[in-house]
Amino acid sequence: MLFLPRLIGLVLVSGSCVFAQAADSASPEAKKAVEKKAGDEEKPKEDKKSDDKTVHSEHSLQIGAQKIEYTATAGTLALKDAEGKTTADIFYIAYTKKNAGDAAKRPLTFSFNGGPGSSSVWLHMGLLGPKRVKLRDDGFAVPPPYELVENEYSLLDETDLVFIDPVGTGYSRATKPEDAKNFYGLNEDTRSVGEFIRLYVTKNSRWPSPKFLIGESYGTTRAAALSGELLEAHRMNLNGIMLVSTVLNFQTIRGAEGNDLPYILFLPSYAATAWYHKKLPADLQGKPLPAILAEAEAFATGDFSRALLLGAALPKDERAAVIKKMARLTGLSEKFVEAASLRVPLSRFNAELLRDQQLVLGRFDSRYTSYVRDPLSSMAERDPSADAVFSAFAATFNHYIRTDLKFEDDRPYNILSSVGKWNWDADNQYVNVAETLAESMSTNPFLKVHVSNGYFDMATPYFASRYTFNNLTVHPELMKNVIQDDYTAGHMMYLNVPDLKKQKDDLAKFIREASVPPAK
């Protein structure tokens, strides 16, 4: 059923108009009663007890055989300094199941996306929330105007949900614009989001609840960093962390002079992409995707790694064999591979694979393509997977926040914003919060981690995620707390409905198992 709450709202408003017209011939008392009823229906509940601006509204959602009654809260929560002065207002949207029983047993999940500079809208309206953006079932674009549908795969049946927009995103702002830079950095962002979580848990009496984080892309970096921040600053242990399209160690995705690791870790994704677009030799093209990935992974960690390691010392016949095998697995020409010295950056691959069709590939999801304006360009000039969905999310969210959640703010809602220079605090090294996560898992051995990987994700490749967790410095027993699930789409795998169904089942199972107290 499409956009049911909005349709009901239109019926109620129309009904109020009909009654008001009919009341023109009624007594003054009857008119006042009708006007009061109409006003009560349209007026949201607003909390004016503090500096925080919040609006509450009541809704319901059908998930399987279960009807979920829930309260939606949209608003801001003020962050204050040691003198009690507000430094920033964090915008959030929370969904809380009604009549859920003991809050100590009801899981609570905090969700955010990445960027840095992204609002929480993607996980909110693509995977977790009660409404989702309607695209094609495979996640591809539809023409405007866009619409929302009931999300029967929402996680609201398993956990209450709080979607956080870090400072500079959504409606979240620093009190003084010139102070926004104080929130733009790995540690600065972690502290402010951690303080928001502490305040929300305290103000809503949720300290006893099982607590989870879910982040996507840079949001996975934030989630790992928060596992340490919440533990060290607030003594808050988490039950679980859900990582969607993971990057914890930036050395795995940022190729540079002297860093060949990304070329190894991207290669299986190149092979998957070439297979999808039917650019592999016939004998490979007829194989299922798992077989292609297995062969590409073996080559990447074997002969290909050896070739990069040896460089000019690699014998010519071996080099020729590696070039031939790489071309065979990636759909590129041997001439192109050789000219690139085996090191093909993502932007070059995305521009080259379908050059004969004048198409460029998507970065977030390499299944997507779009026509290029400059067929001679050596670099990808756009990301068609971003072009396909960004406007749909922006348009539907801006309508939803006012019409369904009754939150009104005339400022632009920053779906994606430029946060200027981000302070990575890495001392000329690659950021690696995997160490923070390892320390959190060692300190809190009950902490569970779920990792969602997309085969066609070219922003945070699945094999890079594998590498990170294969090299996590924790006791082997603790690695039993890590679960990795793979999906057949890209960075936002949940846009593909078959993956959305699977991911809902995978995450629901994870939350249930991580919420259960260990046997005594």
Whether residue 206 sits in one domain with residue 69: yes
Domain interval for residue 359:
252-387
CA-based angle 498:501:506, to the nearest 5?
125
Whether residue 283 sits in one domain with residue 336: yes
Whether residue 196 sits in one domain with residue 177: yes
Whether residue 289 sits in one domain with residue 363: yes
Q: DSSP string of 6-36?
A: HHHHHHHHHHHHHHHHHGGGS-HHHHHHHHH
In angstroms, the CA 175 to CA 66 distance is: 42
Q: Which is nearest to 67 in space by CA: 102, 108, 97, 41?
A: 97
CATH of the domain at 475: 3.40.50.1820
In angstroms, the CA 370 to CA 382 distance is: 8
Please report the pLDDT score of residue 26 as a whole number.
40
Is 91 among the domain residues? yes
Domain tally for the chain? Answer: 3
Do the strands 211-217 and 108-112 form a parallel or antiparallel pair, or are they unpaired? parallel
Of 387, 407, 424, at which residue does a domain stop?
Answer: 387
Whether residue 213 sits in one domain with residue 145: yes
Is 286 among the domain residues? yes
Residue 248: strand, helix, or coil: coil
3-state secondary structure 353-392: CCHHHCEEECCCCCCCEEECCCCCCCCCCCCHHHHCCHHH
Whether residue 206 sits in one domain with residue 151: yes
Whether residue 195 sits in one domain with residue 51: yes
In angstroms, the CA 111 to CA 133 distance is: 17
Q: Can you say whether the dihedral through the CA atoms of 467, 469, 475, 478 is positive or negative?
A: negative
For the chain, the 3-state helix, strand and coil shares in percent, each to the nearest 5, are: 45, 20, 35
Is 53 among the domain residues? yes
Whether residue 375 sits in one domain with residue 296: yes
Residues 6+ apart with CB under 8 A from 6: 403, 404
Is 462 among the domain residues? yes
**DSSP label at residue 415:** S
Do the strands 54-63 and 482-487 form a parallel or antiparallel pair, or are they unpaired? unpaired
77-97: b (≥16 Cβ within 10 Å) or e: bbbeeeeeeebbbbbbbbbbb
* 8 Å CB contact between 390 and 144: no
Whether residue 455 sits in one domain with residue 306: no
Whether residue 225 sits in one domain with residue 135: yes
Residue 437: strand, helix, or coil: helix
Residue 261 CA to its chain's centroid (Å): 24
Is 119 among the domain residues? yes
In angstroms, the CA 380 to CA 347 distance is: 5
Do the strands 54-63 and 66-80 form a parallel or antiparallel pair, or are they unpaired? antiparallel
Of 354, 387, 420, at which residue does a domain stop?
Answer: 387
Whether residue 294 sits in one domain with residue 221: no
Please report the pLDDT score of residue 520 as a whole number.
59
Residue 162: strand, helix, or coil: strand
What are phi and psi for residue 381, nearest 5 degrees?
-95, -5
Query: Tokens 């809704």 map to which residue?
Result: 59
Of 326, 355, 387, at which residue does a domain stop?
Answer: 387
pLDDT in tens, 180-233: 999 999 999 999 999 999 999 999 999 999 999 999 999 999 999 999 999 999
Is 520 among the domain residues? no
pLDDT in tens, the chain (520 residues): 232 232 223 222 333 332 232 333 344 444 344 344 334 444 455 444 456 789 999 999 999 999 999 999 999 999 999 999 999 999 999 999 999 989 889 999 999 999 999 999 999 999 999 999 999 999 999 999 999 999 999 999 999 999 999 999 999 999 999 999 999 999 999 999 999 999 999 999 999 999 999 999 999 999 999 999 999 999 999 999 999 999 999 999 987 778 999 999 999 999 999 999 999 999 999 999 999 999 999 999 999 999 999 999 999 999 999 999 999 999 999 999 999 999 999 999 999 999 999 999 999 999 999 999 888 787 887 899 999 999 999 999 999 999 999 999 999 999 999 888 899 987 768 999 999 999 999 999 999 999 999 999 999 999 999 999 999 999 999 999 999 999 999 999 999 999 999 999 999 999 999 998 766 5
Whether residue 470 sits in one domain with residue 408: yes
Please report the pLDDT score of residue 12 as a whole number.
28
Quick count: other Cβ atoms within 10 Å of Cβ 121?
Answer: 28
Is 126 among the domain residues? yes
Residue 299: strand, helix, or coil: helix
